[in-house]
Amino acid sequence: MHKHHSALGLATAPFNSARGIALAERPVDPVTLIRPHAASRAARYFVEKFPGTSMYAVKANPSPALLRVLWASGITHYDVASIAEVRLVAQTLPGATLCFMHPVKAEEAIAAAYHEHGVRVFSLDSLEELDKIMRATGNAADLTLCVRLRVSSEHSKLSLASKFGAAPGETRQLLFAARQAADALGICFHVGSQAMTPEAYAQAMERVRAAIVDAAVTVDVVDVGGGFPSSYPGMEPPPLDRYFETIHRAFESLPISYSAELWAEPGRALCAEYSSLIVRVEKRRGSELYINDGAYGALFDAAHIGWRFPVALLREPDSGARDMEFSFYGPTCDDMDHMAGPFLLPADVQAGDYVEIGMLGAYGAAMRTAFNGFGSGKTMVVDDEPMTSLYLDDAIEPVPSNVVTL
Ligand SMILES: *Cc1c(COP(=O)(O)O)cnc(C)c1O
């Protein structure tokens, strides 16, 4: 019964599911599960249904295996925010188009991105950054410059409203200056992560309209940024095509040229379903479970911003007990390694049980540290379905797994 598994899977039945791996292997360390078919289905959905170009926001999960799945599924553009991300994507996907969408960059990073990696798209939210970009590129004449507007995050679970973005009083001068310097001029924004209603984009597009009218410039690109939601307990969003319809309608009514392009930068929505985690319960104290991954592992958001992830007990036979609410402690000696949840699990959970924590593909796997000697553990490919999905009802086929080299 016992088989050997390489770092990146190629596991065969009955091991190719969360349950199969937990029960057959009884892993001592946490196991990261990856589901290429789920990421592929999300990518196909955006490629087929978003009425413009979808570029993947790499920071949500920079795993090279994931990048290759997205590329094979039709995602050709990548939103990178650091020179390390530029190098990573350039090396992993040599044909990809890279867009450097961090509004505050090191001048050296801009220069390296432009001269060594062919990056031509940059975002900015100040005149200082515009000067920096022009100096670093030797006043290049082939730039697409995207001015980032500050917009409200009121409809999103994670605000991005305070750090970046030009305020209404600053946009006219900035758009004007960027128009002079750019080959193509774009306007971008970010409504905040996990936007729970399409209205967030409708409101932001009104800010775009006001900025264009006020500055009276020709705009070639409107980039609606990220923020497309995924599904978590207590945070079930409306269907994504409602977001696409709202964005499309708003885009069509903007005072921009007929040939203007619409872009988006989904991060979470493309990769949340890609990954989950098998953890072991090491101790139970009432309604508190001490598990072997936590705030310094893949559960940063569960600890620090109280994010709730779906959980399931992996036990055979299934527990007949009713669900109750649990909180989790992670494995490190730090009190902050605590995840309040609540996480709903059968009332008879005990030490030695395995639990799958779902929807960790975005800002989960990417945040892992080695603090306190934890953080190792293997990664395995599975082909069972993610614990929830926004894409199952839509007859979108993932690319066949044999066309992707993980
Ligand atoms: C983080 C980020 C994204 C991705 O956001 P999601 O909420 O994960 O979709 C897109 N664009 C920019 C500029 C970002 O900083």
**Kind of pairing between the strands at 144-148 and 184-188:** parallel
Helix, strand, coil percentages in the chain from 3-state DSSP, rounded to 5: 35, 25, 45
Query: Ligand 1 pocket, 190 CB below 6 A?
Result: yes
Answer yes or no: is pLDDT of 28 > 80: yes
Mean pLDDT of 398-406: 75
**Kind of pairing between the strands at 121-124 and 144-148:** parallel
Answer yes or no: is pLDDT of 13 > 50: no
Helix, strand, or coil here: 391?
Answer: coil
How confident is the model at residue 14, as a pLDDT?
56
Query: Ligand 1 pocket, 265 CB below 6 A?
Result: yes
Query: Ligand 1 pocket, 79 CB below 6 A?
Result: yes
In ligand 1, the atom with minimum distance to the C-alpha of 269 is: 9
Flag the least confident range among 46-55, 114-123, 374-383. 374-383
How confident is the model at residue 208, as a pLDDT?
98
The 10s digit of each residue's pLDDT in 59-76 is 999 999 999 999 999 999
Instruction: Give the separation between CA 244 and CA 264, rounded to whole angstroms.
Output: 10
- Could you say which DSSP state residue 10 is in? -
* Residue nearest ligand 1's atom 15 by CA: 102
Mean model confidence pLDDT for the chain: 93
In ligand 1, the atom with minimum distance to the C-alpha of 123 is: 13
**What angle (nearest 5°) sits at the alpha carbon of residue 69, between those of residues 63 and 73?**
145
* Residue nearest ligand 1's atom 13 by CA: 101
The 10s digit of each residue's pLDDT in 251-299 is 999 999 889 999 999 999 999 999 999 999 999 999 999 999 999 999 9
Per the structure block, which two tokens stand in for 108? 């050296």
The b-or-e profile of 125-149 (16+ CB within 10 A means b, else e) is bbeebbebbbebbeebeebbbbbbb
Mean pLDDT of 16-31: 95
The 10s digit of each residue's pLDDT in 179-195 is 999 999 999 999 999 99
373 versus 314: the higher-pLDDT residue is 314
Query: Ligand 1 pocket, 266 CB below 6 A?
Result: yes
19 versus 365: the higher-pLDDT residue is 19
The 10s digit of each residue's pLDDT in 90-138 is 999 999 999 999 999 999 999 999 999 999 999 999 999 999 999 999 9
In ligand 1, the atom with minimum distance to the C-alpha of 103 is: 13
